[in-house]
Copies of this chain bind each other. A is one copy, B any other.
Amino acid sequence: MSFTARLTADAALIAQRLDAALADKADQPVIHAMAYAMRGGKRLRGFLVLESARMLGLADARAVSAAAAVEALHAYSLVHDDLPSMDNDDLRRGLPTLHVKWDEATAILAGDALQSLAFELLSDPALGAAEVRIALVAGLARAAGAEGMVLGQALDIAAETATAPLTLADITALQAGKTGALIGFAAEAGAILTEADPGPLRAYAAALGLAFQIADDILDVTGDAAKAGKRLQKDAAAGKATFVSLLGLDGARARALSLANEACAALAPYGPRAEMLKAAARFAVAREM
């Protein structure tokens, strides 16, 4: 199976699990908004959960609720990041953002409920022993919270009003939180689910997360908004320092490629079983969306 076919198949599997999670909930705007927030997207984080588990011998049915949890959490973060008082975006995955389609209150509440849903999904007995599930909860809570994703977003917002532009070290720290923490948890989830050594997947994810973010900055400059499904060139317009503004376009590309190679090298212990995760690292730096 090619990487693209696998990504598509996994996205469908995750969508099915998320649909099932919402299926028995009330017929209310906030529930519809949650479903809207979870549609589309590459579901790369969910793929990382499924594929890291698969590489370590776990059946998809034993991992899919964790993949869905990570995607629910990612969806909440996008909904809140898009709010007028945050990044103020009106387009996401090619459609109006949630606060544009509904209103701010619904967007805040739907995001809040998506975070709760993520933890509810991690309590699914299909994921294995209680020890495994509570380890997933601890890992996701830390990745999501005030030392992970939220901290990264807070630093990003602070950067907009900072008097001095960010340095490369600042941006690396910021991105380690904003996108790195959740990508890291997603890849590590396979090791948690199978109670395997998390070391190699952790190293893979650290390099992958940064490569992914550098590619995002490149895409913001060179990308096609129609393919990306969101507004681009926002960082340059805001005068924000990015990996591209600091390293130049060629320098950023070289750094992203080198990180993708580093990510692949970290998986050496797994030999050919790691092929699909290596393809994901190559995809992360070559993608157009």
- Using CB atoms and an 8 Å cutoff, list the residues of chain A in contact with chain B: 22, 25-26, 28-31, 34, 76, 80, 83, 85-86, 103-106, 108-109, 111-113, 115-117, 119-120, 122-123, 129-131, 133-135, 137-138, 140-142, 144-148, 150-151, 153-155, 157-158
Contact = CB atoms under 8 A, between A and B. Distances in A.
Q: Which of A22, A130, A137 gathers most chain B CB within 10 Å?
A: A137
How often does this chain occur in the complex, in copies? 2
A24 to B, nearest CB: 9
B113 A85 contact: no
B26 A147 contact: yes
B147 A25 contact: yes
A22 to B, nearest CB: 8
28 contacts: A25-B146, A28-B146, A28-B151, A29-B154, A30-B151, A30-B154, A34-B146, A80-B108, A85-B105, A105-B157, A109-B150, A109-B153, A109-B157, A111-B112, A113-B144, A113-B150, A115-B115, A116-B146, A119-B137, A119-B141, A120-B138, A120-B141, A120-B142, A123-B141, A130-B131, A130-B134, A133-B134, A133-B137
